[in-house]
Structure 1
Amino acid sequence: MPDLKSPLVSILINNYNYGRFLTAAIDSAIDQTYPHIEIVVVDDGSTDNSHDVIASYGDKILPIIKSNGGQASAFNTGFAASHGEIICFLDADDIFLPHKVAEIVKIFTADVEIGWCFHALNFFGDSSQKFESQHNWSSGKYDLREIIKGGKLRGKMPDINLATSTMCFQRELLAQILPMPEAIRITSDDYIKYLAIGLAPGFVSIAELARQRIHNNNAYTLRTDRDKQKLFARINILTAYWMKSNFSSIVSKFSNNIFAYAMSIYWLNGGIESESQETIDKYLDALTIPEKIEVYARIIFNYMKYRYSS
């Protein structure tokens, strides 16, 4: 039976060729003030020194070495190997602050209805750019199930950066979402966090409990060019498709809105990429006629709004 006062917390670290950062991430997990933890490190087919770094920790961590399959695959593998009643994700290039897990446990044990917790973070690393978190909200419980069912989340929860290293879940909730489709190879956290919001109440904390490293190899965070826009569109097409395929009754309208926004981004940036075309076709084929009309109307609205806003 789970220990409700001192639950086991699994910290899942997903890594791909971040050997130069991995030590700091693992150390930040080991150095937690909360003692009842396990650390699962999933290496997704790295070709750098990551395996040596992982081996150096011996039995302090649970290592999983697998062939490259993408972030979703690493999430699925790490969760399947874990045992914790609470799951905290950590990217291999980020770090947890020492009191992070203790704070998360307090939040979850204070209200058994809460299925997820997202928190703020701050930024550090190679970039000389200054980052400042903008918090105009207070920490608290949020039940957004009806909101997301209605199709929109913007403005309904604190404006914090919901990166992978901010996401924490009750195991019971995450087991409804994982394993997830492994076609979503990067930024797979969008699929998880949107579905979590649609399935259960949660807690948003504006406390900065982790640090996100900004560096030249960040897949997404610092990119501002057309490639970033197309990558954003591709991720959202995949997220919308798989959410609607697997959880249509919960996030159908929300998925349609994400899909329409992604399509407008493609229109604004030179057209659809070949790797997204099949998914787009399948998504559109599955829509009812009224849904298609609404989706195309939203695509056109978004396109016109952003095309002529500058």
Structure 2
Amino acid sequence: MKHVTIAICNYNYERYLAAAIDSALAQVYPATNVMVVDDGSTDGSRAIMERYGNRISAVFKANGGQVSAYNHAIALLETEYVIFLDSDDVLYPDAVSEVMRVFDDGEWSKVQFRLDVMDGEGVSTGAYVPHSEPPHDCARLLEGGWLYPSPPASGNAYRVNALRQIFPVPEEGVNRYGADFYAIYGVALTGPIATVPKSLGGYRVHNAGSETVSFANSEQLTKAPRAFNMRWAILRNIAKDRLEIELPPTFQDFSHEKATFCSNLYHAKFFTRWRWMIRDSRSYLHTIVANPFWSLKKKLGTLVLSSLCLVPYSPLSDFAVRYIANPLARRRVAGR
């Protein structure tokens, strides 16, 4: 039986850490190892980890950020496969069994699966991510500049030798976070990926209720576009130097453009909204019209919703922005 590691990278998440570890230890797949890498936490995380004794491999390191924690964990891995579980997320008991069933059927570099969205208290919201399923050959899409639909970090299982073609990733300067970006998109350049079309875990979203446009834990809405551009530039260098693959200078991704769209239009004045749509919306509209993962119905619906941002009634405009940006806002409408 092939062995799998669930690697949990933690920093000051003592409130959630035990639930993540418990979900990893509860896997029905018997050849599952659990590694917890603590990135210099200053809360009670160490005490929680020590409670588990030899049931987990506990690794303590100086604080260096998420990229540093991934680099450290990948260097220590002794199994052929790994799932990187965020310390505030959980896996369902059959998660490893399901992904290993897929790995056994092909030479996949990555197997991804859906995650049910939880609120900050761990209560299911009824939403899940992602909503689109990419093709197996995502390298072709990346070489054309398109980021493919992927779940957040916890929804991905990797072949370790594929990860080691991408990692270690530079840790210097502002590149402390976003390790999952390099894992998700970098590994797709090394071989095909597969999708399990059902939820195998829970993704915790903090402070992202249906009345906000935020739907990300790691970065503020206004900082996300700049961070993604920086990571793409670093991934381009890695792909060229290690894989001899040439990626284009810029990438296309609706989630990225959506962040720019929201930061410019949410709570903006009527004239400002019109000016942005006329002068600066080209990339945003292109990721809708040319999106290779969306149906015509979804494209038309998103265009109609986007046009509502131009109406002079700001409550309707802000509602349209929230509906486009935040899946929890959509669940609220559906449940009325």
TM-score range, shorter chain: 0.7 to 0.9
8 Å CA contact 2:116–2:124 kept in 1: the answer is no
1:134: Cα distance to partner?
A: 7.0
8 Å CA contact 2:109–2:193 kept in 1: the answer is yes
Deviations 1:71-110 (A, max 9, x none): 1111111111121101111000011100101111111011
CA gap 1:102/1:179 in 2 versus in 1, 3 angstroms? same
Paired residues for 1:234-273 under 5 Å:
234-248=226-240, 249-250=244-245, 252-253=247-248, 255-257=249-251
1:217: Cα distance to partner?
A: 9.6
Structure 1 residue ranges without an equivalent (≥5): 1-5, 271-298
Mapped partners of 2:190, 2:98: distance in 1: 23
Q: Helix, strand or coil for the counterpart of 1:69?
A: coil
8 Å CA contact 1:233–1:265 kept in 2: the answer is yes
Query: Hey, what does 1:178 align to over in structure 2?
Result: 167
Mapped partners of 2:286, 2:103: distance in 1: 41
Query: Hey, what does 1:121 align to over in structure 2?
Result: 115
Deviations 1:240-289 (A, max 9, x none): 12111211343521x51259x9799779958xxxxxxxxxxxxxxxxxxx
Mapped partners of 1:177, 1:65: distance in 2: 23
Query: Hey, what does 2:39 align to over in structure 1?
Result: 44
Query: Hey, what does 1:202 align to over in structure 2?
Result: 193
Mapped partners of 1:167, 1:250: distance in 2: 23
Mapped partners of 2:130, 2:285: distance in 1: 30
Name which of structure 1's ranges 33-42 and 182-191 shifts more when overlaid on structure 2. 182-191
Match status 1:151 vs 2:145: yes
Query: Hey, what does 1:22 align to over in structure 2?
Result: 17
Query: Hey, what does 1:284 align to over in structure 2?
Result: none
Question: What's the Cα RMSD here?
Answer: 3.4
Q: Which amino acid aligns with 1:174?
A: L
Mapped partners of 1:63, 1:136: distance in 2: 35
Name which of structure 1's ranges 100-109 and 119-128 shifts more when overlaid on structure 2. 119-128
1:188: Cα distance to partner?
A: 2.0
Match status 1:57 vs 2:52: yes
Q: Helix, strand or coil for the counterpart of 2:116?
A: strand
1:129: Cα distance to partner?
A: 8.9
Query: Hey, what does 1:228 align to over in structure 2?
Result: 220
Mapped partners of 1:60, 1:222: distance in 2: 40
Q: Which amino acid aligns with 2:93?
A: P
8 Å CA contact 2:142–2:247 kept in 1: the answer is no
Q: Which amino acid aligns with 1:92?
A: S
Paired residues for 1:65-104 under 5 Å:
65-104=60-99
1:164: Cα distance to partner?
A: 0.7
Mapped partners of 2:223, 2:194: distance in 1: 29
Deviations 1:216-254 (A, max 9, x none): 499xx97369x833221132022112111211343521x
8 Å CA contact 2:117–2:124 kept in 1: the answer is no
Which residue of the other structure, out of 157, 165, 183, is the alignment partner of 1:168? 157
The TM-score normalised by the length of structure 2 is: 0.69
Mapped partners of 1:22, 1:102: distance in 2: 22
Mapped partners of 1:95, 1:144: distance in 2: 26
8 Å CA contact 1:148–1:251 kept in 2: the answer is no
Q: Which amino acid aligns with 1:302?
A: S
CA gap 1:305/1:96 in 2 versus in 1, 3 angstroms? closer
8 Å CA contact 1:14–1:44 kept in 2: the answer is yes
Q: Helix, strand or coil for the counterpart of 1:179?
A: coil
Give the percent of matched residue pairs that are identical in Structure 1 and Structure 2. Answer: 29
Q: Report how many aligned residue pairs link the two structures.
A: 265
Query: Hey, what does 1:190 align to over in structure 2?
Result: 181
Q: Helix, strand or coil for the counterpart of 1:205?
A: strand
Mapped partners of 2:92, 2:113: distance in 1: 12
Mapped partners of 1:136, 1:240: distance in 2: 23
Q: Helix, strand or coil for the counterpart of 2:49?
A: helix
